[in-house]
Amino acid sequence: MEQFLPSKLLSNAVDQFAKLPGVGRKTALRLVLDLLKRDENTVNAFANSIIELKKNICTCQICGNLSDDKICSICSDNKRDQSTICIVENIRDIIAIEQTSTYKGSYHVLGGLISPIDGVGPSELNIQTLIERVNSQNINEIIFALSTNMEGDTTCFYLSRLLKDKNIKISQIARGVAFGGDLEYTDELTLARSIESRTEYSS
């Protein structure tokens, strides 16, 4: 249903906000009216933050992470283990892993997964730079932290074949019942796989 709005300026701003993912026209209107209540400097700071971001953001030349500079803060950090690379699909995955504060290696962002159905082949992904990293740097371990779906499995398989002869340890993150997760609420596939791939008990 067409939404009545008393102003073209308002209508235009609502249109723009309604293009954001998960934001409908009612929510868009609420956000825009909230912004409108603030003073002009605050509104300009909001708008400029996104203009500046788009204009000046870089992609790290080593790992493909978002960065203010040519090399991201993780790749330029000497305290991190640059000989371990965790392969992720996108930068949201980096943020999720960094949130845990347990991983101290580096990353490599593929920018997607191999998906013949969607027409995404290896050449569309950030794989060439990974091979260059592996060839030029001293890499000990590569960890696959990709989704466990068809695309994720295909990508892991493809990469493992590429890296086979490089004498690098290849691992993948553990899958199973979540910590604190109730067995009865765990989906059947996860539960079945977690029994198959059980590990030795250590107290």
Interacting residues with its own copies (CB under 8 A):
1, 3-10, 12-13, 15-17, 19-23, 27, 29-36, 40, 43-57, 60, 65-68, 72-74, 91-92, 94-95, 98-99
Q: Minimal distance in Å, beta carbon 164 to its own copies?
A: 31
Beta bridge partners of 107: 86
107 vs 144, which CB is nearer to its own copies? 107
Beta bridge partners of 144: 87, 172
175 vs 93, 165, 189, CA distance in Å? 16, 26, 11
State in angstroms the smallest separation of the CB of 70 from its own copies. Answer: 12
Looking at residue 183, the DSSP 8-state letter turns out to be G
CB of residue 122 to its own copies, shortest distance in Å: 21
Tokens coding 67 = 């960065």
- For residue 78, what is the DSSP state? T
We find the least distance from the C-beta atom of residue 191 to its own copies, in angstroms, to be 27
- C-beta of residue 70 within 8 angstroms of C-beta of residue 56: no
* Closest CB 77 distance from its own copies, rounded Å: 11
Task: Calculate the alpha carbon distances from 120 to 7, 117, 155 in Å.
Answer: 43, 8, 11
Task: Rank residues 17 and 144 by Cβ distance to its own copies and give the closer one.
Answer: 17
Of 74 and 159, the one with the shorter C-beta distance to its own copies is 74
Residue 127: Cβ within 10 Å count:
20
Q: Do 108 and 166 meet the contact criterion of CB atoms below 8 Å apart?
A: no
Structure tokens belonging to residue 171: 């691992």
Minimal distance in Å, beta carbon 48 to its own copies? 7
58/189 with CB nearer its own copies: 58
Complex with its own copies: residue 42 or 197, whichever CB lies closer: 42
Q: Please, which residue, 52 or 132, has the CB nearer to its own copies?
A: 52
Q: Distance (Å, rounded) from C-alpha 71 to C-alpha 159? A: 24
